[in-house]
Amino acid sequence: MLFYGRQDITEEDIRQVAEVLRSDLITTGPVTEEFESAFAAYVGAKHAVALCNATSALHLAMLVAGIGKGDRVVTSPNTFLASANCAAYVGATPDFVDIDPISHNLCPQALAREWKPDTGAVVAVHYAGGPADMEKIAEVARGNNALVIEDACHAVGGSIYKDGALRKIGSHGYADMTVFSFHPVKTMTCGEGGMLVTDNDDYAAKAKQLRTHGMTRNPEDMVGLNLSDLDERGPWYYEMQSLGYNMRITDFQCALGLSQLSRLDQSIRRRREIVATYNQAFSAAPFIKTPVLKDISLQDHTSWHLYTVQIDFETLGLTRTHVMERLHSNGVATQVLYIPVHLQPWYRQTYGYGQNKCPVAEQNYRQTLSLPLYPAMSEGDVQLVIDNVLAVTSVYDQVA
């Protein structure tokens, strides 16, 4: 079965994980620090904080930026729940602005038009890896004194232009913080894992503290227990200075992350090749729209996490479920990514959101289908997907 996404684990990955598992320290320790340094260097950012998943990274981004009750956080409806839930975790109000019909990312014009004065942050998502218009999003948000948090869970290794120069996502400067996911379907994996990346010293230090119960062992940060007979600060001594969480990642997961990072560029190149083959194969198919980059010059600098097409199921005269079942019976497992978040029952009940809030995202949802994309796919696998998708969406085939 070809799944829509799948981890790519080599014998070398396994060797590096096993090496850590045989060592004395297996939870957050020296390998986590090594992974953080290597990742920060790769994206070109000052700090990287490794966490148990990207949901926690988004949650911490809100906390360290001081987003909370009374703040609105605007994101794209075409995303995974976590991009919006992070606002609700801290008592802020998640809100949604419609997407651009071509990039399927947050539309900067709609963001400007619908701006509300209580907006404290914008969470910009790079759907499927295709970059959101960060320059315009940052212009709107920063022009209104709001922060920009970049949800780059789909876009590790991608780049965008800033002032004419190509800059890695995570260091282009249009975002205050950038978040990456290392879930198994993502472009690189730690099993589960996430990274919060920033150039801001204060955000990074706070995130590290909150990742482990708001504790510190750094003598320079100590404020004391304020009880003279209990204030002996021996080697055991630690202080809890804020209400934190356990969002730690293990060293053996970070060993996997380091190993995956070392061949990330190669893996992204393979993804790009598969995307090019699909685009070519589906270019003349009447009911299929292939993904389009708004800035075509980013073609060789985009890190594709998903290959998502739009299929006009209505004109085709077939339901999406039928198409998915036919593909599945021939070994091709597809997925629908995403149900617009504002339509989820909890969002409707809690914030009164509903249909027609984001019509472009809702129309996109009717037609979206993600096909298998991962580096280990062989040419034969790619051809199997193409043949089956063309067969099931071909009118001649339907008539026959």
Ligand X SMILES: Cc1ncc(COP(=O)(O)O)c(C=O)c1O
Residues belonging to the active site: 186
Q: In whole angstroms, how far apart are CA 347 and each of 35, 84, 96?
A: 36, 10, 11
- Token look-up 């800035």 returns 295
> Which residue number, 63 or 281, has a Cβ lying nearer to ligand X?
63
Neighbour-count burial for 210-223, b at 16+ CB within 10 Å, e otherwise: bbbbeebeeeeeee
Among 31, 64, 132, 153, binds ligand X (CB under 6 A): 153
Query: What is the radius of gyration, based on Cα positions, of the chain?
Result: 22
In the list 98, 100, 151, 199, the residue contacting ligand X (rule: CB under 6 A) is: 151
Among 92, 99, 125, 389, binds ligand X (CB under 6 A): 125
Phi then psi for residue 44, to 5 deg, are 85, 25
Name 197's bridge partners: 48, 178
Name which of 50 and 82 has its Cβ closer to ligand X: 82
Question: Does 181 contact ligand X by CB under 6 A?
Answer: yes
Using CB under 6 A as the binding rule, the residues of this chain from 34 to 53 that contact ligand X are 53
Q: Which residue has the tokens 């909890």?
A: 346
Q: Do 75 and 53 meet the contact criterion of CB atoms below 8 Å apart? A: no
Coil, strand, or helix at residue 107?
A: coil
Nearer residue to ligand X within complex by CB, 61 or 288 = 61
Nearest to 70 by CA among 112, 114, 120: 120
Indicate the SS3 state at residue 358: coil
Measured from the CB of residue 339, what is the shortest distance to ligand X in angstroms?
13
Tokens read off for 199: 């150039």
Query: Residue 334 corresponds to which tokens in the numbers above?
Result: 């597809």
Nearer to ligand X, 313 or 338 (CB): 338
Cα 342 to chain centroid, rounded: 18
Structure tokens at 47: 């700090």
Q: Check residue 79 for interaction with ligand X (CB under 6 A).
A: yes
Taking the complex as a whole, how short is the minimal distance between the CB of residue 251 and ligand X, in angstroms?
A: 18
What 3-state DSSP class applies to 267? Answer: helix
Q: How far is the CB of 80 from ligand X (least distance, A)?
A: 4
Task: Select 138 or 153, whichever has its Cβ closest to ligand X.
Answer: 153
Q: Whole-angstrom Cα distance, residue 245 to residue 345?
A: 27
Residues 340-369 that bind ligand X (CB under 6 A): none
**Smallest distance, Å, CB 23 to ligand X?**
25
Least distance to ligand X, CB of residue 154, Å: 6
Size of the site for ligand X (CB under 6 A): 14
> Which part of the chain contacts ligand X (CB under 6 A), choosing from 22-30, 104-112, 147-155, 346-354?
147-155
194 makes contact with ligand X (CB under 6 A) = yes
Nearest to 366 by CA among 340, 392, 397: 340
d(CA 104, CA 362): 11
Q: Which residue in the set 80, 96, 282, 374 belongs to the binding site for ligand X (CB under 6 A)?
A: 80
If one asks whether residue 82 binds ligand X (CB under 6 A), the answer comes out as: yes
83 binds ligand X (CB under 6 A): yes
Q: How far is the CB of 54 from ligand X (least distance, A)?
A: 3
Confirm or reject binding of residue 76 to ligand X (CB under 6 A).
Answer: no
**Residue 73 or 323: which CB sits closer to ligand X?**
73
**Is there binding between residue 55 and ligand X (CB under 6 A)?**
yes
How is residue 100 written in tokens? 């651009």
Our CB check for ligand X shows the closer of 301 and 305 to be: 305
Interface with ligand X (CB under 6 A): 53-55, 79-80, 82-83, 125, 151, 153-154, 181, 183, 194
